[in-house]
Every structure is written in C-alpha cells, then in structure tokens.
Structure 1
Amino acid sequence: MKFTLHHTDPQSKARAGTMKTDHGKIETPIFMPVGTVASVKSVHQRELKEDINPDIILGNTYHLFLRPKTDILKKAGGLHKFMGWDRNILTDSGGYQVYSLSGNRKIKEEGVKFKSHIDGSTHLFTPENVMEIQRVIGADIIMAFDECTPYPCDYKYAQRSMHMTHRWLERCIAHLEKTPFEYDYSQSFFPIVQGSTYLDLRKQSAEYIAGVGAEGNAIGGLSVGEPAEEMYAMSEVVCNILPEDKPRYLMGVGTPINILENIALGVDMFDCVMPTRNARNGMLFTAHGTINIKNKKWEDDFSPIDDMGITFVDLEYSKAYLRHLFVAKEYLGKQIATIHNLGFYLWLVREARKHILAGDFADWKNRMVKQMDKRL
C-alpha cells in the first residue's frame, strides 16, 4: 500500500490524501460502510458500488469466522470473490466483538476464549490465529488483535490492557512474517492504539505504535460510551504522535459531527454502523439536520427525501412515501433509508476533502456542525 498526503488544511489538522492498494485507489478522508458478514445491510452490491460508491468497505473477522467460516471463504477465493466486490476491503480483527460479548468471554495472555453468539460453541482467538484468519478472508487492510477496554475503565486495568495489546501486537507481527499472502495480491497491516481515556496512556501507546513502522495506524477503544469531548481529546493527542506519512484510522466512529471534528484533528479513515442501524429505525442524516421519518409531520410532505442527496432514492421518493413505508412496516423503507444515509456519509467525507484541498475546511466544518446539530 502507498499513501500520499496531498494537502493539510491551514486552519486545522485536516488532511487530504490517497491510498493505493492492489484493489484500487482510496481517497481520504474516507468513510467505510460496514459489511459485517459479507453484506452491507439492506444494500445490494450494485447499489453500493453505483450509488453510494465507497472506495472501501469493512468486514469483520469474528463474524466471518463463525459464518460462513474460513474454509468456505478459502474455497471461494477470498471475501472479494465470495461477495462480488472488486474494490478495497478492511477487516476488523474481532477484538471489539469479543469485548462486546462480556459474560461469554475470558481474556488471558494467550488470547480470548469466547462462546459463539450463534450456537454457544467455544472458540479461542489468539494474535496468531486471528492473523491466519485474516489471511484467508483476504482483506486489503487487516488489523492487529487487541483488547478494547470498556468505558468507564479504571487506570490500572487500562494500563494492563494496553501493555497486553502491545505484546499481542508483537505476536501478530511475528506470525505475519511467516504467514504468506493467501491470494495474488498483498495485504497491509494496521496496529491499534489503546489506553482508554487516559491521556498519558494514549500518548505512551501512540509512541509505541508509531515505532512499529506499520503501513497505517488505528485508534481503538473509543466510541464506547465516553463523552465526545473525551473522544476528541484522545484523538488529538494520538494524531499529534502518529506519523504524518501514514493513514490514521479511528475505529467505530461515529455521528456525522464526530467525523468532521475528528477529520479536523487529523484522522483519515472512519467506519460505523450508525448510518445503517439508524436508517433501519427511520433516522435520516442530512446536511440540514436529522429527520425522524416516522414522525407525523412528514405524512403529507411530498418533497424529495433530500434535494441535496447523491443517491437515486433522494430525488425519486418523497418524505411522505418513505414515512408510509415505515408505518406499513415495508422493508423497502429500511432499504431506501439505508441507501440515503450511506450516500450522505460518503458525500460528507468527500465534501470535506474538497474543502481541505481548497484551504477553507475549518470554516466549512464549523458551519456544517451547526447545521447538522438540529432535529428537523
């Protein structure tokens, strides 16, 4: 993978860059739709490619390991061929999903023993076998196996967890060096900064991760319930340490406002289930604020869903029609809302890129934050 930094906004630390992999170009800042189980929920791959048009999507090691299982993915020739997606894919290592199992997992130095949420079967994830699983899945960017700490988290636990994450990283790297690529293209590896919401731990972890010299770096353990101000403080201290010539990925974040504020701090890559999950509940994100399409006020509003939208659904369907679909519990409503929200998120990061390159990102960002912080 090659990363080229083109421009940094003069009034913030927002960056515009380009990543190139064997599956194509990724223009940053970028939002990655979440395709947890080889599918971005409610969206066909054709709609995803032609209307939403992301350069990269995300899959998840934990879920793909359990279903359809690695032997099926290997027979298919990897995740790209299995799901019919010829652009970039990043896989999360499964650390967050294992963390979210809480009572059904046990963390030790060796790794994490957990019970499947599907059938209760017991499995063990180690830094070594998670690297092997991600080789077989075949994503273009693969993540280190880490422990995601909860919020709130006491200092000693956060410190112990951070050091274990660093030791696991060493094991990930050592195992990757003797595990060849599974397919006829290369993979890039990103380690993950941890440290909960403690500035000194985040600084220590960022310095350690920066010293690894990986092709890109990630910030984990945020967007787990902490106030937005603490998230921004952690992102700022980490971005000030991570190398400028490598992409920075903030995992699992977030709202449109979270994304813009973190772009301003120097983050390049984002993913989150919010646009798809909230869409299925009738919440639409727009440049003018958030719409709860199930509200009665939209019952006879025949204006387009979003006259600034970039996808076909935004102009072809009205707010009244979309509300009707939700009230009638027609699944088409969830599909339309999902396409709209993902299209908006991609529009947002690409508009941010335009303003970074134009040199007026900070002013534009401040205006957008005020506009989006409204309930319509």
Structure 2
Amino acid sequence: MGRLASIGAWWDGLEAPLRRLPRGAALAVLVLTLLACLWSAQATTAYVAADQHRAATRPLKEDEGDYKLYQRTLSRMRAGEGYYAAAESEQRAHGYPTRPFVTVRTPTMAWLALTLGLPALKIVAILLLLANVAAWVVALEGRSWLVERAAAALALGVFGVLAFFPLVGLTHEMFAGLLLSLALALHRPHRWWPSLLLAGMALAIREMALPFVLLWGAFALDARRWRESLGLALLLAAFAAGMAVHAHFVALHRLPGDLVSDGWEGMLGLANFIGPLVTTTLVGALPGWLAGPLALLPLLGWAAVRGRLGLFALLWSAGYMVLLSVFARPDNFYWVLLVLPAYGIGIVFVPRALADLLAAALRRGRPLARSGG
C-alpha cells in the first residue's frame, strides 16, 4: 500500500510528467512513438481493407447481426414476452451462445428501449455527449490552454459520433462509455457521488465497465478517501448482487443444448484496438496512414496531463488496450466503445507530450526534481 500511495503522490505532484523523464527514457519513448505510428498506419490500412473485404464477400443476411438480434428481442418484449425468455430464445435460434451467463446482456437497455423507445434513447445519448463536452471543458480548466479545451470539445464529437447513430439505444457499450467518460470528467475529491451514480448506471448497462470502477477504487484507497472508498465498495457489492440475479435468470431459461461461448483468448494484438476505434469514429473518414496514428496517439497525450485526471485516463485507456489486444475476438470490436469519447481527448495533448519529450531528450544532466504542487 505504501508503494501505491507513493506512486499516486509522485504523479500528482508533477507539473509535466513526460518532461521529467531521464534523457535516455525520453529518447526511447520518442523512438517507440515514431515506430508505433509507422506500424499503426500500416496496421489500420490492413484492418480496414480486411473489414471491407469481409463485408463484400460475406454480407450479413437480413436477419443476421447483433442489432437484428436485439431488435427481435425488443419486438417480442413489446408483444408481452419477458426479457430473458425472448433474449435466450433468439440467441438459441440464431447460433448465439448462452453460456456463460455474460453472453446474455443485462436487461437494462432492453427495458429502457421498451419504455422510452429508440428515438428517445438517441436523444439521451446526444444529451450525454453534450454533457461530456461541458463537463470536460470545465474539468480541463487550470491544466490546459483555451485552444486545448476547444480542441477537446471537437475531439469528443469526433470520437463520440456514434451517439447520433439511430440504433445507439441498442449499443450497450456506447452508452456505458458516455456515462464513464462523464463520470471521470465530473469527479472531484469533495463531490464524488455524481460520478458514483454514473458509474453505477454504466455497470447496470454493461458489466465490462467494472475495470473503471476497480481503478477508481485503487485511486480512492491510494488517496485515503475512506468515504469514497466505502461508496465504491457498496457499489461493487450491489453490482455483484445484480450479476448474481442476472446469472440466475439466464440459467432459468437456458436449455441443455445451448451453445457455449468460444471464450475470450483472441490474442490479436494492438491492431484489435486501433482498428475498431477507427471504424467506429469519424477518424475512419481519414486515410489509413493518418487514421492509425490518430487512433494510437491519444494514449501519449494523456501521459502528458498531470494529476489524477491524466493518470486515471492513461491507465483506464491502457487497460482497455490490453483487454482488446489480448482477450477480445474480432467480433468483440465494440469493447473499444467503453473508453469513448474520453480517450479521444488525449489527441489534444500530443503536441504538449512531444514538446515535453523533446525537452527531456535534449536536456543535459539529471532529470528535473519533483515539483511541489
């Protein structure tokens, strides 16, 4: 615990984290960044070409795909059928697994779509995106220039464009990502409960929001914010109870011959993060040689932002990079939406990151001492 606390306090006190790297480390990061950009340009071009080839050679049939599955489930619910009976029957009929229980989505978005309708959920998604813009502009005050905050607002639109998708109400990960991004922007040490509510909503929609909450818990314990830690512990307990209920109802409607998931051992590498990010955002409108680096560089940008906000965004984004690179299958591409649109803000700080790295690389002597604030 002492080691964790010292790391948190150390980063929080750095005015410009990358500028304080030793000269050799800064040079290494610059070289790795250049190599990563060159690789990402090629990898993205290949990913998009392969995606287009699959779409051309094996187009989805009229009744295929996740959205069709969710729409059929919703239609059966409108006819009076319960969620679990409808969802599992549809998954069984169209070759989707129901084992383990997480292969069946929690009913939250289906219930919301049934109650409010998909057009209303699209409006909610757009309002969440606009709330993100407002919250992030405020959150970045004191640690960014006005031009950076304006660019951050634009980046949120570029990386959160899926909020305008007509079927966003059936896109669990996008809704969860919007909620988590807003939770991060709104967090204050003295006012953390709005973020807790937003994170709880994200967990109710998609259980894969859990890493965000676990990381937040580590930060709260690191800072010895005991009330905040207790609130997070209660949220995790409620989440565990909710998932147990979900697992019970999935098992209740499961049949002996139901399919089992292929598992999550994709081992597809970093291309399985940047490729889906490009194809689900406006970055995809750019040629692959430019889109790839723009999809990868936000991580470097976040490393240049001091304080809890920058370190949290850096670790959160890096964590999902690992998840998609190691565990996700090609058809799990939508996991990337869980860090959007906040991840994209990092692109705004790339010039700052490069300037700090160059300053550190050209500096002679020992690295700068730790700042007091």
Q: TM-score range by the shorter chain?
A: under 0.3
* Larger of the two Rg values belongs to structure: 2
TM-score relative to the length of structure 2: 0.25
TM-score relative to the length of structure 1: 0.24
Q: Greater strand share, 1 or 2?
A: 1
